[in-house]
Structure 1
Amino acid sequence: MSQRRVIFHIDMNSFYASVEMSYDPTLRGKPLAIAGNVEERRGIIVTSSYEARAKGVKTTMPVWRAKRLCPELLLMKPNHERYRQASRALFELLGSYTPLVQPVSIDEGYLDVTSYLPIKHPYELAKDIQTRIKLELDLPCSIGIAPNKFLAKMASDMKKPNGITILRKRDIKQMLWPLPISEMYGIGRRTVDKWEKRGIKTIGDLANANQLDVQGWFGTNGRKLHDRANGIDDRPVDPEAIYEFKTIGHSTTLKQNTKNMALIERSFESLAESVSKRLKKKEVLARGIQVTIRYHDWKTVTRSQKVTNPIQSSEEIFEVATALFTKAWNQESVRLIGISSYDLIEQQHAYKQLDLFHYKEDMKEEKIANTLKEIHARFGEDILHKGTASTWKSKDESARESGSSFRKDFLEPE
């Protein structure tokens, strides 16, 4: 019998834009957007103020479209050092409440505040944290309160900006299940169609589906999502998780030692495809690529490079990897090569700076990638392949409750 927990999810509202408004108060109340490149038609929206959102401006929207929807839109380039400083101040403030703080990105994190329950009502504690963040950092946030991380994350999305939402297990049928499956944390935008084709159009549909069927359709991840739709999530708040070195990689031993660049390139192409497939499955992008070269005499070298924009496609991975290889290769025979992606970031936190000459092409590649994925899903992986370098290549987010109800929902054992 385990003790119930009280978990907070802190989600900063329109973080980059809010930091800029704090830095320059004359921006308050105006439609403001942060974009990768602020010049006309040359970037996408990273985040925007709620005034801009009211005009239809959305994250990942091309700048030209945002300006068409909101001609008075103010555009600013990201100031990453300013945002990092604000983030450090935020997590120092959160750390003053409990050591059990797990940052998950620059502007959101989990707190395990179970220890406060005997002495302070969770809603009052959340209100205290929210008020301090506003007074001391001049930044707005929303807070989700729940018995586990998944429900806390979903709760923080329910009332923005400046919301505090309580989501207890006994409330999930009314508050969680009616939401469309696309709003469920953990289900990527690209996979929504697959869920809907199985008849799963709401979170409630998933919760009430047969778990074995869901696992058969979507594997282990499907089973985990089925549990979470039913309010089950035992993951701890782990302060060390952010320091883990996350990487996805593959290597291959060549059939024979070789200096044949065409053969080496074909092997790199296959490795890039494997790494890309795993990145897409985990719905993450890489901000760094590393190659490994082992020579015929077993001497092994590695070379790595950070990329300007997070990448996921096999073509981009291949391009960076082969450039690293070409620069590092000493012209001796090669026995093994490998590609690793590192400094991974979830798709929802990644953005790409599209320039004037590539934004249309990138939109086209997205359609091609989705078409290929659909064909593979329907007819199998072998039905259609992208060509090698010498043939065709596709570029591929309550009211206060009584203390007794909280004790029942969060503290009493199952």
Structure 2
Amino acid sequence: MIIHLDLDCFFASCERVHNSSLNGKCVAVGGRGDPFIFDKNPSRNKKLMTLNTGAFVPSLFHAEHDSRHYFKDGDKMRGIITTASYEARAYGIKTAMSVHEALRLCPHLILLPPNHLLYHTMSHELMEYLSTAVPVMEQYSIDEMFGDLRGWIDEADTYEFVRHLQNQISIEFKLPVSIGASRSKWIAKLATSSAKPYGVRVIHNHEIESFVKDIPIGEFPGVGKAFSLKMERYGIKSIGDAWRSETLIQSWGTQSRELYGRFRGEDNESVQPSRSRKGIGISRSMDHPVHDRDELFRRIHILVRHWSHTIMKLGVNPTTYSFSLGYENWGNSKKQYTLYRLFNETFLQSFTLEKFRELDIYPHSGIRYIAMSATKFIHHDPKSFNLLEIQNDTKMRSLTEALTTMRDKYGMDIVRGGGEF
């Protein structure tokens, strides 16, 4: 069988491991769009990690926050809730809710700034432990993992095994976890959801149909909003409805056929010990719109430095770059480019600044959002790159490697570009 582990209220649970006085209390971890990254003064506490990704899990963060001021912006409270304990959820507090609304619902809420270094570290240590207990493990996100028990544990012994595993995680790490198991990764993930909080549920083959039949189609992993609406137009509102609509769903193409197999638990998707990274991006939303273009491009310089460092750390060479600006009143401006250059920070800085200047089609409007991403990675094969630029790019690549080493050792802000001041 395949098992799925979901660490309950993970960020809040990590904080409780770190501070046991938080146990049993209304606790929430909140986040902001990193109000510190654009500071003109260098920081020694800035860290960059590439162990985990996902919603509310930045690769760049500060090691320490002053909780008294983190959420304050003048007289206003900024930020959103990323994790809330079950005690806090009883007051209606939910993920992605504004900090202001959460405090209105629960005035005695203990609101904590994020400690991402702690969360990354605990997730990594848990994954290391699980790899000694289960032959094949997949890190799905910072707080979710899959494991493959096939050929290791008899199906009849699955419940006892995962219950023991749950207890061991509680003893070794003091972290609450829910675990689901089934023949399919995605049915196992649904089983975990039904077991929360702190539960275990095993769905055997003959139980799959009765288990999934009343689950809303939009709650199935991988069913996006658009596809869910499409299915609802055909009267398919539950997974049970989907089971009875095989011919229709399979007529919609390859992806729909694959999804139908998932609905039935017949997808045969394997647990992957490592998952390839599809893209690397960085973005920031501003609390206050930026009107000064010199300040805008100073911030772009800073974002590119961190973006470049992440790309170098992961050892990939992108060929497709996407850029986006979000305006205060005029919507978005975005564009994508493909080019074959040996990756280096010097090239990325000049190319990105040039493209953002072209992208800024409303120069008198304030900017609320900056985003950039890189995709479609290739190997470092000189025959693949622009021959007119390869000699200079090779030199700049060596410089970028040296900068990456220095920033790893002394911090992200040890070397900054002139455009950042």
**Aligned partners of 1:126, 1:73: CA distance in 2, in Å?**
33
Quote the offset at 1:172 in angstroms. 2.0
Cα distance in 2 for partners of 1:228, 1:79 equals 36
Supply the distance in 2 between the matched residues of 1:177 and 1:95 (Cα, whole angstroms).
33
- How do 1:182-261 residues align onto structure 2 when only pairs under 5 Å count? 182-189=218-225, 191-211=227-247, 213-217=248-252, 219-241=253-275, 244-247=276-279
Tell me the TM-score normalized by structure 1: 0.59
CA distance in 2, matches of 1:288, 1:200: 42
Task: Map 1:70-219 to 2 at 5 A.
Answer: 70-118=106-154, 121-189=157-225, 191-211=227-247, 213-217=248-252, 219=253
Q: Residue 228 of structure 1: CA displacement?
A: 1.4
Q: TM-score, normalised by structure 2?
A: 0.58
How many angstroms apart in 2 are the aligned matches of 1:176 and 1:28?
34
CA shift for structure 1 position 14: 0.8
Distance 1:184 1:49 in 2: 24
Query: C-alpha displacement at 1:188, in angstroms?
Result: 2.5
Question: What is the rounded CA distance, in whole Å, between the counterparts of 2:79 and 2:350 in structure 1?
Answer: 27
Tell me what 1:7 maps to.
2
In structure 2, what is the Cα distance between the partners aligned to 1:318 and 1:77? 34
The CA distance in 2 between the partners of 1:248 and 1:31, in whole Å, is 35
Residue 341 (structure 1) aligns with: 374
Of all paired residues, the percent bearing the same amino acid is: 36
Residues 322 and 335 in structure 2, CA contact (< 8 A), matched pair in contact too: no
CA distance in 2, matches of 1:192, 1:229: 13
Equivalent position amino acid for 1:325 in 2: F
Partners of 2:241 and 2:86 in 1: CA distance: 31
Tell me the SS of whatever aligns to 2:214.
Answer: coil
Q: CA deviation at 1:209?
A: 0.8
Counterpart of 1:51 in structure 2 is 87
8 Å Cα contact 2:323/2:373 also seen in 1: no
C-alpha separation between the residues in 1 aligned to 2:187 and 2:161? 18
Per-residue CA deviations over 1:307-344 (Å, capped at 9, x if unaligned) read: 9xxxxxx9475499998635368xxxxxxxxx863499
**Matches of 1:301 and 1:141, distance apart in 2:** 37
Shift of 1:56: 1.0
Q: 1:45 to 1:320 in 2, by over 3 A?
A: farther
Letter in 2 for 1:240: S
Tell me, yes or no, if the aligned pair for 1:304 and 1:324 is still in contact at 8 Å: no
- Give the Cα separation in 1 of the matches to 2:98 and 2:140: 26
Letter aligned with residue 106 of structure 2: C
Deviates more, 1:13-22 or 1:228-237: 228-237
Match of 1:325 in 2: 351
Q: Distance in 1 between matches of 2:337 and 2:109?
A: 36
Task: List alignment gaps of at least 5 residues for structure 1.
Answer: 1-5, 250-286, 291-299, 308-313, 330-338, 345-414
Distance (Å, rounded) in 2 between the aligned partners of 1:51 and 1:109: 25
Distance 1:196 1:130, change over 3 A: same
* CA gap 1:110/1:303 in 2 versus in 1, 3 angstroms: closer
Q: Secondary structure at the match of 1:201?
A: coil
The gaps in structure 2 that reach 5 residues or longer are 33-70, 282-305, 310-316, 325-330, 339-347, 356-371, 378-421
Equivalent of 1:66, from 102, 112, 130? Answer: 102
Tell me how many residue pairs correspond in the alignment: 275
Q: Does 1:30 align with 2:33?
A: no
Q: Residues 199-235 of structure 1, C-alpha deviation per residue, up to 9 Å, x if partnerless? A: 1111111121133x22445x43222221111121211
Contact 1:245 1:343 in 2 (8 A): no
Q: 1:51 to 1:59 in 2, by over 3 A?
A: same
Q: Which amino acid aligns with 2:18?
A: Y
Q: 1:316–1:88: structure 2 CA closer, same or farther, 3 Å change rule?
A: farther
How has the CA–CA distance of structure 1 residues 187 and 304 changed in structure 2, closer, same or farther, with 3 Å as cutoff? closer
1:76 alignment partner AA: L
Aligned equivalents of 1:165, 1:62: Cα separation in 2: 33
SS in 2 for 1:240: coil
Moved over 4 A (4+): 287-290, 300-307, 316-324
Counterpart for residue 11 of structure 2:
16
Q: Deviations over 1:143-197 (max 9, x none)?
A: 0111121111111111112110011221122211111112111113454333322
Could you tell me which amino acid in structure 1 is paired with residue 192 of structure 2? S
Q: CA deviation at 1:44?
A: 1.4
